[in-house]
Structures are given as C-alpha cells and as structure tokens.
A and B are shown apart, each in its own frame.
Chain A
Amino acid sequence: MKTVGFLTAYVPEEIFHAAGLTPVFIFHTPEDEGRARAHLPGFTCWIAGSALDQALTGKLDGLVGMAMAQTCDTIQGLADIWRQNVAHIPLLHFGMPLRLDSPSTRQYLLAELRSLRGRIQALTGHPISDDALWQSIAVYNRTRALVRRLYARAPHLAPSDLYALVRAAFRTPKETYNEHMAQLLELPLVLPDLGSRRNPPRVLLAGCELADPVLLDAIAQAGGRVVGDILDLGERYFAIDAATGAQREPTAPDQNPLEALADRLLALTPTPTKYRPSSDRITQVMSLVQERNADGVIFARFKFCEPHGFDYARMAHALAQAGVPHLLVELEQASQAGQLRTRVEAFIEMLA
C-alpha cells in the first residue's frame, strides 16, 4: 500500500485514491523533536510545526508524496519550506481558490484539478482513468454517508470516541473504514457510562482540526456531550457528496469526474480561509446552535491561527448577543493540559 500525506481541508483525496494511493492526514502530535524550529518562526501554529518536525525527523519517510491545498498564509509558507527541505517527499500543491463565488472560479479550479491529476500520474507513472475516478468517488461518498450517520449519534457517544472514529476516516484505507464503520453502526446503541446526569450539557465545537484529546476528555469528564461541530475537518468535510457517475447520466452526460469533485469542493461550507458571501460562517454557527439545541459553544483555536482568530471574535459577538455561552481554548504544543481541563470542566459545569 502506497501512502500519500496531506494537510488542509481542501485536498481532493479521491484523485489520489484513484491513482492507487492511500491519502492520510498528517495530524499534529505532542511528540516533537524541535527540528522545525530551525525553519519556522515562533509564531507558527502547532499544525504546521508538527508536520514539518515529523518530516524532518524521518517519521514520514514512508510517504510517496505530501499534498497541501491553498488555504492560509502558514500552509502557503510551509509548502515553500517543504520543497526546499523535504525533497524526498515530493510536494503536491493544489490551488484551491479563495473565492468560491466568482463566475471564473469553477474554470480555474478545474484547471487546478487537471494539473493535480497530471502530477499524480507523473508521480506514480500510471494514468488515472475516468472510471477509476468514478469508482473512488463512490467509495468516498460511502465514507461520507457513514460519517454522517455517526454524527447523528453524537449526543449518545463519548466525545473522544466520536472523534476517534472521525479521525480514523482520515487515516484508514477507505475500503477498510467503510466495512468496519458499517458493522459498527449496525450494533445497538450502548450508552457509555458518562456519569449520572439526566440532561447532559450539549456542546458545539468550532475550530480547525478535530479537537484535542485533553479537551474532549474534559468535556466527557464533566458530563458534557458534543452534539455537532463547525470544525474544518469535522461535519462540514463529510456533509456533501460528489455527484456519482450514475447520477450524471440523465442530466449531464458530458460531466467528467473532475467536475463532480470541483462542485463538491465549492459547495462545502467554507472554512475561514475561503469566501462565499452567501454562506457566512457566523450565521451557520447560529443556526447550528438552534438546530442542535446546543447549550454552549467551545472554540478550539490553534494559537497564531489568523483565519480562525478573526472568525472567533465575530462569532463570539453574535453568540453573546444571542445569550449563548461560549469558551475559547487555545491549543499550542506547550499547552497546559491541567489548565485546559479546569477551564473546560468549569464551562460544562456552568452549562449544566
């Protein structure tokens, strides 16, 4: 099995899959040998620092490539640094547009997808057929449907279990994941022992990556449940399927699989680095609070993250006006687990 690493919430995994590669997300880890510090300034987020440290210490040597989409200034800089210092893991950059609404966006995005397909073909030495792409889209749609079913059970799961299963979707070959997740979802619902509270406080998570284990654990310990999220790699990532080969035939016989992928990327709820005036993230959070009947919102922001930092201020303002309690926790490599735990537990207690 050949594996390709990736970062950001906008990498079209299906193209890699169609080339016979297994895309795996490179999550940040607390283990760090400090090698990235020779390349990155102190005000770089944990995500970028950890990925580079893992690459420079040989932990990613099994990867045949590393994919990153255009998102924030930090990832843009990391791509530059990666090319110069991690030459043995070729970088595959994908120019995801910032504007999702311009009349030319789709055309630009399609050109970027074609270019990426060409570069993956050059990397593996094999052509990627349309049929293979349609098949990969079907496999990924299956994963997305399963994760949506998983999220539907979120209020009954321990938050750390929920996100362990979501994270696995980013790390496991999709065929294996689909098989196991389908079996798991057939099992009768067994409520974990989360304490004796009758109406556990219902929390929404906002931020970038799938929340911190300490954070999730603290929510559970205090008797809280996660009932949904607006995390870049959370619900929004799985919310929309790509059109399948079967769906295209009656209406758009000429549609090719790259168009199906482009349309999915454009339809997703934007992360804070993208712009579509008609779907404001602040409105999205407010309606999610209503829809899920949430008692409060926890923002898990990586220290030095500008896109989420600006959004936090606007969301916090809107939530405060609506009387919805919220808490900001900042994640960094040197975070104080004890302090984080105390603050989250106090917040959940307050909601109860």
Chain B
Amino acid sequence: MSEYPRLQSLRRINRVMARYYGQRQVLARLRPLAYVTSGAPVEILEALGILTLYPENYGALCGARKASVDLCRVTESAGYPADLCSYARSHIGAVMHPRDAPLRGMPRPDLLVCCNNICGTVLKWYQALASLYDVPLFVIDVPFQHTTPAEDHAVAYVADQLHEFAAWLETHTGRRIKPDKLDAVLARSREAVALWQEILAFGQHRPSPVNAPDLFVAMAPIVALRGTRRAVDCYRRLKAELEGRVARGIGAVPGERYRLLWDNIAIWYRLYRFFRPFMDDGACFVADTYTNAWTVELEPQRPFESMARTYSGVFINVDLPARTRIIAAMARRFEVDGMVMHVNRSCKPFSIAQCDVRDRLRDDLGIPILLLEADMCDERLYNEGAVRERVEAFLEML
C-alpha cells in the first residue's frame, strides 16, 4: 500500500470548522443562535447576524469520530426506534448526554429552523429538538417537485413563507433585515457556490486532482459557512491547490486507471478506509451526487423568489427522471467507468429509488454499477466482510 498525496487545504478547512464550532460556544452568549437544516435558506439568517449551527453536519462529525453508535444507543434507550435516521439519533443522543459527545455537544439554540427540501425526517427531528429545548421552531415547507421545473404556485408558496420567515426572525431576535446586507450575503453565497462548482469540475481532469473523500471533508464550509467570507477564502485556497496539481499532472490517485461516480451521503466512520481498496486499484471517485447538492445559484434582483426557486430544485427534492438525468449528465461529463451507489439506511429520499436509477443508467451508459447497503453513521449496519467481497468483485468487473 502506497501513501497518497494529501491536500493541504483540507487541513485548513478542518481548522476553520474546528474554530467555527469553538467560536459558536462563545458567540452564542452574545448573539442569537439557530439550528438549521442543511438545505435551509441560511442567507436570511446570515443577513440578520444570527449564528447558525447544523445538526446534520454535527451528525456527520459524530460519525467521522466514531461516536455515533454510543450516541445512537442513548437515543434508542429514550424510546427512539433504532431504524430512524442516524444523523438524528447521533445528535439527539448528544443533546441528551453532551458530556459523552464530541465537542461536548453544541451550544443551546435560541431558535430552530427546519426546511423539508432535503427530507421529511427533519420535521420530526426538529419537533423533538423543540420539545427537548423548549424553543421556537419555524418550518419552511418546500414541496417536492414531482415535475421539473417547479410549478409557479409551489414557488409562490415557498416565497411567501420566506417573507414570513424573515418577519418571524425579526420578531424573535429584535433585529431588522437590511436589503443591502442581504444582497451582500447573497453575493458571497453566490461566490462560494461558484468556487465550489469550479472545485467539483476539477474531477474532469485526467488524472483527477481530487477524490470524493477529499470533497466530503471539503464540503463542510459550503454547508455551514455559505454566505460568509471564510467559505470563499477556504475555497480560493483549495482551488489554487488543485490548479497546482493539474499543472504538475498530480492525481489524487497516482496512476489513475478508473474513474468512478459516488451516489449518496458518505460513510463517515470509514471515510478514507472505505475508499482505500479502490485507490489501491487505481480507482478515483471523480464525481459524486452528495457534494453536488450545493451547486445552486441565486439571483440578487429578486432575492426571495430566487431563493424559493433555488431551494425547491435541490438534487433530492426533484423527481426521479430529473435526478437520473443529472446523474447521467455527470457520468458523461466526468467520463466515468463505473458507479458506486451507497444504499443508505438513514436516508430514504436519497436511497429509495436507487434500483431504478441503476437499471436506467446501466442501460443508457453501459457501465458497471454497484449497489452497496450501509449507513452514513451507524456502524452497526456496516458489514465489513460483505462490503469487501462486493467491492472486490466490482473492481474485477472494471
């Protein structure tokens, strides 16, 4: 087994994220703090100077630090069934037993903001949080797009709620939203998203300077710091480093032989270890559907309407043909030789129709596709032997 070149900017991103969590502990005493879902229109909060934390990101952190199983057990002993989302079980366990949780849990929120454009589970998770913390909850209902593009009455419904949401935040924090501040935040958000898109596009190079596990680490700022200068700064550095790799012909996987596409959320407790046999065989994951979920653009002219449209059309909120088209286009653009789909017990919107996506793409693209059952955080659902066997068989097929 050889050592693989590591991206220096990832260390910086990890440091920025550690500081982000650390600072929140202190700043939360001075400014209102909201817990938000990963697909929420965070720009409105950012424009009001409200601090944000992402329980989903924290769930991923618990998974990566192998703390999830113990925390899930805490949640289960409080009566939550073991087949619920493992981000939610990890986080609720951390709320109940912060002493045993990474970073000793997150600081107590003043507000909860739940947007269902990523799943329906977040409603239940945030209702549980609202009763655990006894703080106000705002729910933004973003209808699933059964046809693409979104219908006008659905976009109007979301835009109306965003106005209602802004007023709700003003009432609860006593702060006033300033249009120029919102414009500035949206501009930074757009800049971060544009940089993130450029970073994802580096996977098109041969060899690819970046592998999916790198992106799973690198994605934290686009989730949690979108709309801030720090996100822009992190991604400028990462982009420069990737440009350097391309110029020198350095690949994330030296001697790249196969180019693969990853579908679904990462397996956080096996982040690099899972990908190791692929790398040892010269296979690089040049694209994935998870980190691609934040490639949305915002128009500054009509901020609420444009946010409504953008946040309605995120990858897992659109119909199956649209999702399949997006994956097929990625497979072609990144010239992949195969695909691995993580059938993630914890994420129904991502996982439920994967068999159909596989059947369709196998016919259209003529590439081997591996469906692999696991879970993003709950290690008890990971069958090491079965995974190894199936991965080996898949690599043979390539």
* A-side contacts of B356, CB under 8 Å: 39, 80-81, 84-85
**What are 27 inter-chain pairs, A to B, with CB distance below 8 A?**
A43-B351, A44-B352, A70-B144, A73-B119, A74-B348, A77-B349, A77-B353, A78-B352, A80-B320, A81-B320, A83-B320, A84-B320, A93-B146, A95-B154, A98-B120, A98-B141, A102-B157, A103-B164, A108-B156, A111-B153, A272-B124, A275-B141, A306-B84, A309-B124, A310-B80, A310-B124, A317-B79
Shortest CB distance B193–A (Å)? 26
Instruction: Evaluate contact between B355 and A310: CB separation under 8 angstroms.
Output: no
* B-side contacts of A40, CB under 8 Å: 352, 355
Shortest CB distance A295–B (Å)? 20
Report B113-139 CB contacts with A as 1/0, cut-off 8 Å.
000100111011101100100000101
Number of interface residues of B (CB under 8 A): 47
Instruction: Evaluate contact between A77 and B373: CB separation under 8 angstroms.
Output: no
Instruction: Evaluate contact between B139 and A76: CB separation under 8 angstroms.
Output: no
Q: Cα distance A182–B128 when bound, in Å?
A: 43
Cβ of A273 within 8 Å of any chain B Cβ, yes or no, is: yes
Report A85-129 CB contacts with B as 1/0, cut-off 8 Å.
100000001010111001111011001100100000000000000
Output the residue of B137, B151, B352 with the most chain A CB within 10 A.
B352
- Inter-chain residue pair count (beta carbon < 8 A): 147
Number of interface residues of A (CB under 8 A): 54
Report B42-80 CB contacts with A as 1/0, cut-off 8 Å.
000000000000000000000000000000000000111
* A-side contacts of B351, CB under 8 Å: 41, 43
Contact of A310 among B84, B116, B146, B319 (CB under 8 A): B84
Report B69-101 CB contacts with A as 1/0, cut-off 8 Å.
000000000111101110010000000000000
Instruction: Evaluate contact between A41 and B352: CB separation under 8 angstroms.
Output: yes
Shortest CB distance A98–B (Å)? 4
Task: Give A282's nearest chain B residue, CB to CB.
Answer: B131
Report B342-353 CB contacts with A as 1/0, cut-off 8 Å.
010100110111
Cβ of A38 within 8 Å of any chain B Cβ, yes or no, is: yes
Output the residue of A70, A103, A108, A316 with the most chain B CB within 10 A.
A108
* A-side contacts of B164, CB under 8 Å: 102-104
Cβ of B143 within 8 Å of any chain A Cβ, yes or no, is: yes
* B-side contacts of A44, CB under 8 Å: 348, 352
Contact of B79 among A81, A93, A98, A316 (CB under 8 A): A316
Q: Cα distance A95–B146 when bound, in Å?
A: 9
Instruction: Evaluate contact between A99 and B144: CB separation under 8 angstroms.
Output: no
* A-side contacts of B348, CB under 8 Å: 43-44, 73-74, 77, 306
Instruction: Evaluate contact between B84 and A98: CB separation under 8 angstroms.
Output: no
* B-side contacts of A304, CB under 8 Å: 83
* A-side contacts of B139, CB under 8 Å: 98-99, 275
* A-side contacts of B319, CB under 8 Å: 80
* A-side contacts of B392, CB under 8 Å: none
Shortest CB distance B284–A (Å)? 27
* B-side contacts of A282, CB under 8 Å: 131
Shortest CB distance A334–B (Å)? 14
Instruction: Evaluate contact between B120 and A102: CB separation under 8 angstroms.
Output: no
Cβ of B228 within 8 Å of any chain A Cβ, yes or no, is: no
Cβ of A301 within 8 Å of any chain B Cβ, yes or no, is: yes
Cβ of B233 within 8 Å of any chain A Cβ, yes or no, is: no
Cβ of A312 within 8 Å of any chain B Cβ, yes or no, is: yes
Cβ of A42 within 8 Å of any chain B Cβ, yes or no, is: yes
Instruction: Evaluate contact between B123 and A273: CB separation under 8 angstroms.
Output: yes
Q: Cα distance A97–B123 when bound, in Å?
A: 13
